[in-house]
A and B are shown apart, each in its own frame.
Chain A
Amino acid sequence: MAIKTSWVVTSVACAAALAGVAHAQSPSPHAAQMIRSRSKAVCVNPHPNHMKISAIVVGFSQSQGNENPFRAEETKSLKDAAASFHAKRYVYTNAHSNEAKQVADVESMINQGAQALVIAPLNSTGLQPAFAQAVGKHIPIITIDRHTAGTDCTDYLSFMGSNFYKQGEIDGEQLAKATGGHAVIAEIQGAYGNSVETARTKGFAAAIHKYPGMKIIAAQTGNWSTTDAQTVMSQILLAHPNVNAVYTQSDTMAFGAITALRDAGKKPGQVKIVTIDGTKQGVQDIVSGWVYADDETNPRFGPIALHEIQNWFDGKPVPQTIVIKDHLYTQADAKSALASDAPY
Chain B
Amino acid sequence: MSVSGTSAAVRAEGAAPERRARLIALIQSRGAIGVLVLATIVASLRFPFFPTVANFENIGTAASFLGLVAIGQTFVIILGGFDLSVGSLIGLGSVLAAYALPYGWWAALLVPALAGGAVGLVDGLLIARAGMAPFIVTLAALLGVRGIALVLAKNSLVIATPGVFGLIANGQILGIDNLIWIVLIGFAIAAIVLNRTRYGVAVFAIGGNEEAARMLGVPVARIKVLTYVVSGTLAGLSGALLAAHLSSGISTAGQGEELKSIAAAVIGGVLLTGGVGTMAGALSGVLLLGLIENVIDQIGNLSSYYQNLASGVFLLIAVLIQTVLTRRRR
User: Chain A residues in contact with chain B, CB under 8 A?
Assistant: 65-66, 79, 89-94, 96-101, 103-105, 107-109, 111-113, 123-129, 149, 191-195, 198
Contact = CB atoms under 8 A, between A and B. Distances in A.
B155 A111 contact: no
B247 A128 contact: yes
A98 B245 CA distance: 13
Contacts of B301: 79, 90, 92
B248 A129 contact: no
B246 A100 contact: yes
B253 interface: yes
6 contacts: A99-B250, A100-B246, A103-B246, A105-B297, A107-B54, A111-B54
Contacts of B298: 108, 112
8 closest A-B pairs by beta carbon, nearest first, are A104-B62, A193-B252, A94-B304, A125-B248, A126-B246, A126-B248, A128-B247, A125-B158
A193 B307 contact: no
A129 B303 CA distance: 25
Contacts of B246: 99-100, 103, 125-129
A216 B62 CA distance: 43
A126 B247 contact: yes
Contacts of A194: 155-156, 252
B40 to A, nearest CB: 16
A74 to B, nearest CB: 14
Contact of B49 (A97, A111, A191, A195): A111
Interface in B207-259: 242, 245-248, 250-253, 255-256
A265 B300 CA distance: 48
Contacts of A93: 297, 304
Interface string B273-302: 000000000000000000001100110110
Contacts of A107: 54, 58
Given A100-B246, A126-B156, A91 B300 contact: yes
Interface string B63-107: 001000000000000000000000000000000000000000000
A175 to B, nearest CB: 24
A96 B307 contact: yes
A192 B304 contact: no
A208 B155 CA distance: 23
A177 to B, nearest CB: 30
Nearest to A67: B305
B157 interface: yes
A194 B251 CA distance: 9
Contacts of B256: 98
Given A124-B155, A125-B158, A126-B156, A108 B252 contact: no
B52 interface: yes
A276 B55 CA distance: 40
B150 interface: yes
A278 to B, nearest CB: 24
Contacts of B170: 129
Contacts of A90: 300-301
Nearest to B47: A112
Contacts of B55: 108, 111
Given A99-B246, A100-B242, A129-B170, A193 B156 contact: yes
B137 to A, nearest CB: 24
A109 B297 CA distance: 9
Given A104-B62, A129-B246, A193 B300 contact: no
Nearest to B147: A192
Contact of B155 (A98, A112, A113, A193): A193
A191 B250 CA distance: 13
Contacts of A96: 304, 307
